[in-house]
């Protein structure tokens, strides 16, 4: 079953690459089939095997020899890793299927946000609409999910307005608000608190050196770092280890 999850994860990851590339460019994710983004030659089935084809082709298009971004096998491997680890976490249950689909959406959001600094509404708002009925299958009560939705939306909104009030500048975008509200549906309000805490911590650890090394426009400190990937990462950490970390933290406090 683990092997099956890994293989399925690789092929779904291959499809996620298509979504990441095409959705923000307004292209269809179904037609046409995969093609080289440089020379446009359609990719043959034997060259479209996740990770393996990348290695066999030496990371280059068979026709124009242009390098294929290493991100493609990375996304495929991440997808497989998520499938396998969620299977270990939840077993072959509906909760596994829902959380894996959700993790795939978070993966797509992460890379689109990295590329374009935008989180498409179809994933954040769409995730809320699709997610609410699916809460039934998750280890989250409806009360917690609804509170997560409201808290997730409200909390970041307050931070954004507060930041704007203090600095008269826009920090995070509305896309992050909608994403955290969507995360709240799948994790409950506890997950929202954890995600905000974890993503701020990771964002500071990774973002601060980034900002210092790579100065923003006009030498300011405010370089554009998308926050969506950190929210996605924090939410996934919560699903895997949230309860454990929270228990450990409060045990540590006595
Ligand atoms: Zn090519």
Give residue 76 CA to ligand 1 midpoint distance, Å: 20
Instruction: Please give the pLDDT value at position 217.
Output: 56
The answer on 135 and 29 residing in a single domain is: no
Regarding whether 167 and 212 lie in a shared domain, the answer is: yes
CA of 79 to the centre of ligand 1 (A): 25
Q: Note the pTM of the prediction, 2 decimals.
A: 0.90
Residues 63 and 149 in one domain: no
Burial 15-24 (b: 16+ CB within 10 A, else e): bbbbbbbebb
Note whether 230 and 219 are same-domain residues: yes
Residue 224: pLDDT band with limits 50, 70, 90? low
Q: From the CA of 206, how far away is ligand 1's center (Å)?
A: 34
Distance 118 CA to ligand 1 centre (A): 28
Q: Is 65 left (phi over 0), alpha (psi -120 to 50) or beta?
A: left
Same domain, 187 and 78: no
Euclidean distance between CA atoms 59 and 79, whole angstroms: 19
Q: Are residues 39 and 113 in the same domain?
A: no
Whole-number Å distance, alpha carbon 33 to ligand 1 midpoint, is 14
**Tell me: the pLDDT tens digits for 189-198?**
999 999 999 9
Same domain for 75 and 200, yes or no, is no
Give the Å distance between the CA of 29 and the centre of ligand 1. Answer: 19
What was the pLDDT predicted at 213? 75
Predicted local confidence at residue 222, as pLDDT: 53
Does 98 share its domain with 170?
A: yes
Domain span holding position 19: 1-91
Per-residue model confidence as pLDDT tens digits over 106-144:
999 999 999 998 999 999 999 999 999 999 999 999 999
Is residue 137 located within the same domain as residue 54?
no
Q: In angstroms, what is the span from residue 66 Cα to ligand 1's centroid?
A: 6
Q: Are residues 125 and 196 in the same domain?
A: yes
Count of domains in the chain? 2
Residue 172 banded pLDDT, cuts 50, 70, 90: low
One domain for residues 188 and 110: yes
For residues 72 and 178, state if they share a domain: no
Q: How far is the CA of 27 from the centre of ligand 1 (A)?
A: 19
Q: What is the pLDDT of residue 171?
A: 63
Q: How far is the CA of 114 from the centre of ligand 1 (A)?
A: 24
Q: Which residue has the higher pLDDT, 242 or 211?
A: 242
What was the pLDDT predicted at 193?
A: 94
């Amino acid at each position: 079953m683990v092997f099956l999850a890994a293989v399925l994860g690789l092929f779904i990851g291959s499809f996620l690459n298509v979504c990441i590339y095409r959705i923000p460019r307004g292209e269809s994710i179904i037609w046409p089939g995969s093609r080289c983004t440089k020379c446009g030659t359609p990719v043959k089935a034997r060259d479209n095997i996740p990770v393996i084809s990348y290695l066999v082709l030496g990371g280059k298009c068979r026709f124009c020899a242009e390098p294929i971004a290493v991100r493609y096998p990375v996304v495929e491997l991440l997808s497989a890793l998520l499938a396998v680890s969620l299977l270990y976490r939840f077993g072959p249950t509906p909760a596994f299927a829902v959380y894996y689909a959700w993790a795939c959406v978070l993966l797509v959001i992460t890379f689109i946000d990295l590329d374009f600094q935008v989180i498409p509404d179809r994933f954040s708002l769409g995730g809320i609409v699709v997610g609410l009925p699916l809460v039934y299958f998750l280890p989250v009560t409806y009360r917690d999910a609804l509170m997560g939705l409201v808290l997730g939306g409200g909390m970041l909104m307050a931070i954004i307005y507060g930041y704007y009030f203090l600095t008269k500048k826009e920090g995070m975008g509305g896309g992050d608000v909608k994403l955290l509200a969507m995360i709240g549906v799948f994790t409950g309000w506890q997950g929202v608190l954890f995600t905000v805490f974890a993503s701020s911590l990771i964002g500071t650890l990774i973002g601060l050196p980034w900002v210092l090394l790579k100065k923003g426009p006009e030498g300011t400190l405010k370089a554009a770092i998308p926050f969506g990937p950190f929210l996605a990462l924090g939410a996934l950490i919560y699903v895997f280890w949230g309860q454990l970390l929270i228990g450990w933290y409060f045990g540590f406090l006595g």
